[in-house]
Chain A
């Protein structure tokens, strides 16, 4: 083999590397899979995992949120203590946020090797504690411990299932020194959950079969039992996507047609607009029957993205879309009052009418 042949052989390698790299990188999927496991282990007692010594609740002034769900949690409980957002908050979402958090900077997130904030920058922010919420398993616990050991900052990890949100709000409120606010929001969360469960049960003998369309082409979905599909389970819908794997998976359109869902929901506005005029999607009975709904995603997703307490607002909406029954007062008014209660701010009513248009 001469030099040229050798180099050309070398040149063939980037492809193999690219494929090898892209295979295990399904970070979203693996998170979802561990989420599916955690859903299965629902009997585990609820407990905040604390690494390090927490300051007295009254002395917590600066909270760093490790990821988007934690940021939403800290924001609803103690907006003045949130140091910044771990995710990019687009301008249209900021318009729905209270002035004191609207201009909070983007800081980056902490999630093991996927972290986007350097630990030095984290130290420079001088937080009193790091708040994290989501899946609790060996990986997230060891990652939390690692950050605590390297920075000396107290780290709190709160289990993040939607059905446990009353407990999350009360417990985190207590830890952050806002117990009354925590208790008040916990009661409200309890009410929303109970309402959703009750309506789900009343909805009839059989739960409607639902397909959750994600991604720009609508052919990504959340598998039954995963953390991302929690809202659907709570609202009494039957997720059609069952099978191997958990979290997010890709499916074929023929599989969607074979499942024959009665309702299709999505949170992707561009997919929603496209599918409404696409001849293929229009062949699905659910779409022909007008049972295709777009969940709003401002300021945070109603179904997912992030999987935090922001999903509570989506529950009554989902119940009404699944079971056809109107839930209490009018939509925009109800959503606005949720915003006032949880986010401490709400734009005028027309903004909510626009938000709900098409949903």
Chain B
């Protein structure tokens, strides 16, 4: 296995970090930036505030969200044996969106909105897995997918209802901005709340990395190799949901990252989950950090992060669709 893909990913990540620290509406020369970084977070003055209270936390949240969404996407794509699946296949974004919309409708403070979004995301996936457990007559993966569509649509309807009921001049813009996704409100507090949840999802995923490829086999084949498929699947769903819900709660709906990044990672390092997971984590972190740097520094107003990621993601999605059939490329049965 060549080493260049990993060097490329590391370089990209370094670029994302440097760009994220250097760009912004308050100009800071590289020397001043370095001096502020060396002076530590307790220094006084505007430069210290900009670097330590604004750019660094936001950059870190961007890296975290990108890593989490990409890891969750990689896991789901392996689990559903399809490269066109995204982390909210089980309705987590719609659930989180409904939680946040309702919280804004009821005038809850920011922490309340985050908590409601997180709870909504978990509730949606919880509902989907309950249905999957209850309906046993069909293929479990199929039931999960279809239940995810249904529950996601149900929660989306809830979002629409909240929008209709919202005050059009004050609350509706807030709901709209939340749904578009963005990191403008990211703080160290957000990082502190989301990072443990993302870690709680990422660590089991990493520990199970060698067994995940077994899910690309038919359930009976995997079972014949001694794998408890149902338990493995549940663990992965739980891990991916925790990570996605935590990301969506602090960043809103940032689409396309979890869909496109895992695919690009597999192109770089090959289809094995044990390799594609770390590659996707690095690439996703860099992708969101770069997109967010553009979102906050391209104009005086914030461009919605979800729109920027869609601008890159949608063409990539179409390209995937066009080259479709030729490679299922997530450790498909043929590859395994």
Contact = CB atoms under 8 A, between A and B. Distances in A.
Interface of A: 1, 4-5, 7-12, 14-16, 18-19, 21-23, 25-29, 31-32, 67-68, 87-88, 109, 111, 114, 116, 214-217, 219-220, 223, 228, 241-245, 247-255, 257-258, 267, 270-271, 273-274, 279-280, 283, 301, 304-307
A22 B180 contact: yes
B232 interface: no
B230 interface: no
A26 B300 contact: no
Contact of B25 (A26, A109, A255, A301): A255
A10 B84 CA distance: 9
A242 B300 contact: yes
Interface string B144-166: 01101100110010000001110
A67 B300 CA distance: 32
Contacts of B146: 7, 11
Contact of A250 (B88, B172, B304, B317): B304
A242 B299 CA distance: 11
A135 to B, nearest CB: 11
B82 A220 contact: no
B139 A4 contact: yes
B142 A7 contact: yes
A306 B164 CA distance: 16
Nearest to A116: B164
Interface stretch (B10-18, B181-189, B194-202, B282-290): B181-189
A5 to B, nearest CB: 6
Given A28-B168, A250-B302, A220 B177 contact: yes
B174 A220 contact: yes
B53 A12 contact: no
Contacts, number: 216
A20 B97 CA distance: 14
Nearest to B324: A1
Contacts of A116: 164-165
Contacts of B82: 5, 8-9, 11-12
Given A18-B253, A116-B165, 16 more contacts: A9-B84, A12-B85, A12-B259, A14-B152, A16-B256, A19-B256, A23-B180, A29-B176, A109-B168, A114-B168, A220-B177, A244-B299, A251-B300, A257-B54, A274-B110, A283-B49
Nearest to A22: B179
A18 B296 contact: no
Contacts of A31: 168-169
Q: Which of A217, A223, A242 has the most CB of B within 10 A?
A: A217
B204 interface: no
A27 B299 contact: no
13 contacts: A8-B82, A8-B145, A11-B148, A12-B89, A14-B149, A14-B156, A22-B180, A27-B168, A28-B169, A28-B172, A243-B300, A253-B185, A270-B108
